[in-house]
Amino acid sequence: MAQRGHSESESDNRGNVLEILEVIAKHNPVVARKMKGPGNAKYTSNTIQNEILQCLADMVRDTIVKEVKKREVFSVIADENKDLQKKEQLSLVVRYYYNGAVHESFLCFQHAEQLDAKSLSEMIIGCLESYGLEDISTENHRDRSIDARGLLAQIDLTFISLLATFRKLFGNTKLLSDLLQSTSVDLAMAVDMVKSLCDSFQVYRTDTYCDQLWRDIMETAKQCNVAVED
């Protein structure tokens, strides 16, 4: 939501912040005196406004972090989307149980320069580290530890094979999906990309590609200590 208007001197609507302050000034003499004061003492500039918003955001975020740390256990919800400048933005939300209710609280935005699994994982971990949420105590959580190890044990060769296959397929189709959703899509470019994607799918069906994919799957299984039958 925009905070300022394009013209703050003559416009009938000078933006949300100034108009809200004008309404408050009608009912609050302290605010009214400030609004009528000298220009260097009104504290209504966009710089001060942003500093106030940042202070409020920090206070809310500190409260969220304190609540999460008290519960010690939380999950992370991450989603990416493009902003108005077509830059990928990663939003991070923490989900936790506190005071008898489940909370989902926004934590931060991050500019995502790359969307591969490694880059996104590093961004999420870095964000959690910046708020001191990366350390999860292992004391007195034996049951949860057993559950976590049980989930890890379910990672088998089939899971890795599907993950590697769909990662390649969805990675290529996402480029076409983004292009087709663009408001300024070039139809000729879209047609070329569709043809290129079809050609890529034909390559994926060759023995040479399947052999290389299988070698990559076996290497990943080895790195994850997944048992592989001879």
pLDDT in tens, 119-152: 888 888 888 888 888 765 544 556 666 666 676 6
Q: Where are the alpha helices (DSSP H) in the chain?
A: 16-25, 29-35, 46-71, 117-130, 142-153, 157-181, 187-204, 207-223
Query: Which residue type is seen at 200?
Result: S
Percent of the chain residues past pLDDT 70, beyond the cut: 85
Percent of the chain residues past pLDDT 90, beyond the cut: 7
**Which residues are CB-contacts of 151 (< 8 A; sequence separation ≥ 6)?**
none
End-to-end Cα spacing for the chain: 59
Q: Give yes or no for a contact between 106 and 93, defined as CB atoms under 8 angstroms apart.
A: yes
User: pLDDT digit string (tens) for 187-209?
Assistant: 888 888 899 989 988 998 899 99
Q: Residue 25 is encoded by which pair of tokens?
A: 């000034």
Query: Which residue type is seen at 226?
Result: V
Give 107: exposed, middle or buried? Use CB within 10 Å, 0-12, 13-18, 19+: buried
The residue to which tokens 């209504």 are assigned? 44
Phi-psi region of 209 (alpha: psi -120 to 50; beta: other; left: phi over 0): alpha
Instruction: List the one residue out of 8, 7, 15 whose CA is nearest residue 39.
Output: 8
Task: Report the C-alpha gap between 187 and 25 in whole angstroms.
Answer: 54
Query: Which residue type is seen at 104?
Result: E
Helix 157-181 vs helix 187-204: crossing angle, to nearest 10? 160
Q: Helix, strand, or coil here: 88?
A: strand
**Which residues are CB-contacts of 45 (< 8 A; sequence separation ≥ 6)?**
none
Kindly indicate the confidence band of residue 10, based on its pLDDT and cuts at 50, 70 and 90: low
Is the four-CA dihedral 115, 117, 119, 125 of positive or negative sign? Answer: positive
pTM for the full predicted model = 0.53
* Overall size of the chain counted in residues: 230
Residue 158 predicted with pLDDT over 50: yes
pLDDT of residue 206: 92
Q: Helix, strand, or coil here: 90?
A: strand
What's the DSSP call for residue 113? S
pLDDT of residue 98: 87
pLDDT of residue 138: 46
In the chain, domain spans: 1-44, 55-139, 155-223
Give the mean model confidence (pLDDT) for residues 221-226: 83
